[in-house]
Amino acid sequence: MIRIKHLSKRYKTKNQEVQAVDNVSLDIAKGEIFGVIGYSGAGKSTFVRLINRLEEPTDGSILIHDKDITKMPSNQLREKRQKIGMIFQHFNLLWSRTVYDNIAFPLEIAGVPKSKRKEKVLELINLVGLAGKENAYPSQLSGGQKQRVGIARALANDPEVLLCDEATSALDPETTDDILDLLVSINKKLGLTIILITHEMNVIQKICHRVAVMENGKVVETGEVLDVFVKPTSKTTKRFVQQLNPLEHEKDNLAAFINDREDSEVVKLHFIGDRAKRALISEVAKTFDVEINILQGSVTPTQEGAYGTLFVELIGENSVLQETIDYMKNTGVEVEVLRNV
């Protein structure tokens, strides 16, 4: 468990002070993939760098397995840092060393004997899918392969937590997916806690269990990914969710279907988790005397289940329409009847 309490970081420059992280408190469970999202300047990088004390906090505490790292003297901190792996947007590899030697480097620093190092490095090379590339230099690798080296190196000393600082931001979408898949498989295989920061909601959607949204150094919203996606409360979160689900904009485009006819209603259905798999539309069509016109739909998978949005027009007698809508509501699906204003 990582417990962050009232964490703050103020930078003082010549002419001004910047409150980069402002009184952040969070609990991150062991084995969890926890995402922090925010726009540029929100304080994400500072936040993640505070966790391994690459930056010194101005206030607050960070407990990793009950040990407050903000109070550790430098010799203890050096040891603790070996248990906090980190990967970076631009990989930060040693360019004059081979893949093998890059991964062996943290083991050398930790004083692991050469014979044991070899076993560990080869195990890690296999884990990240780089077998055959042991003797290549970073300049001979693709971006995705470079990040795999970064991940293997970060795992060398069996860390308790892996910090990811925009780890996929320099990669194309396909390679991003491969690296995210690798992080999920490492999380499952090793039970490793992962904290990642990103400005891309699809990264949160694909791999995180929980998310915190940062703005001006503060956490403005936090929760299970599925809950935050389905019911975003802050304005910033709503913008991120819209970025991911283009149908959130659709309401305006459907205005032409929404009319004052007695025998028609346009409804937005929101399916969450297992409900997204239910064949509700065919169920309704069999049960009620209504015609159903499907206008738009999408399903978004997350680590904790899927959520879906569907816009349909229901056509039928007014009283039957009301019954149909009540029926759908009773299944636990969120139903919003759209009106033109």
Ligand X SMILES: Nc1ncnc2c1ncn2[C@@H]1O[C@H](COP(=O)(O)OP(=O)(O)OP(=O)(O)O)[C@@H](O)[C@H]1O
Length of the chain: 341
Task: For residues 258 and 296, give the distance between their C-alpha atoms in angstroms, rounded to a whole number.
Answer: 14
Report the nearest approach of ligand X to the CB of residue 60 (Å).
Answer: 15
Scanning 37-45, 221-229, 244-252, 292-300 for contacts with ligand X by CB under 6 A, the matching segment is 37-45
Task: Tally helices (H) and strands (E) across the chain.
Answer: 12, 14
Report the nearest approach of ligand X to the CB of residue 150 (Å).
Answer: 18
For ligand X, the closer of residues 54 and 295 by Cβ is 54
For ligand X, the closer of residues 214 and 284 by Cβ is 214
Task: For residues 280 and 72, give the distance between their C-alpha atoms in angstroms, rounded to a whole number.
Answer: 56
211 binds ligand X (CB under 6 A): no
Instruction: Pick one of 24, 26, 43, 314: the residue that binds ligand X (CB under 6 A).
Output: 43
x/- string (CB under 6 A) for ligand X, residues 15-34? ---x-x--------------
168 binds ligand X (CB under 6 A): no
Instruction: Kindly list the distances between the CA atom of residue 203 and the CA atoms of 39, 179, 239, in Å, as whole numbers in the listed order.
Output: 14, 10, 15
Report the nearest approach of ligand X to the CB of residue 149 (Å).
Answer: 23
Report the nearest approach of ligand X to the CB of residue 252 (Å).
Answer: 30
For ligand X, the closer of residues 82 and 216 by Cβ is 216
Nearest to 22 by CA among 63, 58, 53: 58
For ligand X, the closer of residues 13 and 75 by Cβ is 13
Instruction: Pick one of 15, 40, 75, 319: the residue that binds ligand X (CB under 6 A).
Output: 40
Contact status, residue 333 vs residue 254, Cβ threshold 8 Å: no
Residue ranges of the alpha helices (H) in the chain?
Answer: 44-51, 74-81, 99-109, 114-127, 143-155, 173-190, 201-207, 225-230, 235-244, 250-253, 280-287, 318-330
Residue 335 token pair: 């139903």
Contact status, residue 35 vs residue 223, Cβ threshold 8 Å: no
45 binds ligand X (CB under 6 A): yes
195 binds ligand X (CB under 6 A): no
42 binds ligand X (CB under 6 A): yes
Binding site for ligand X (CB under 6 A): 11, 13, 18, 20, 38, 40-46, 199
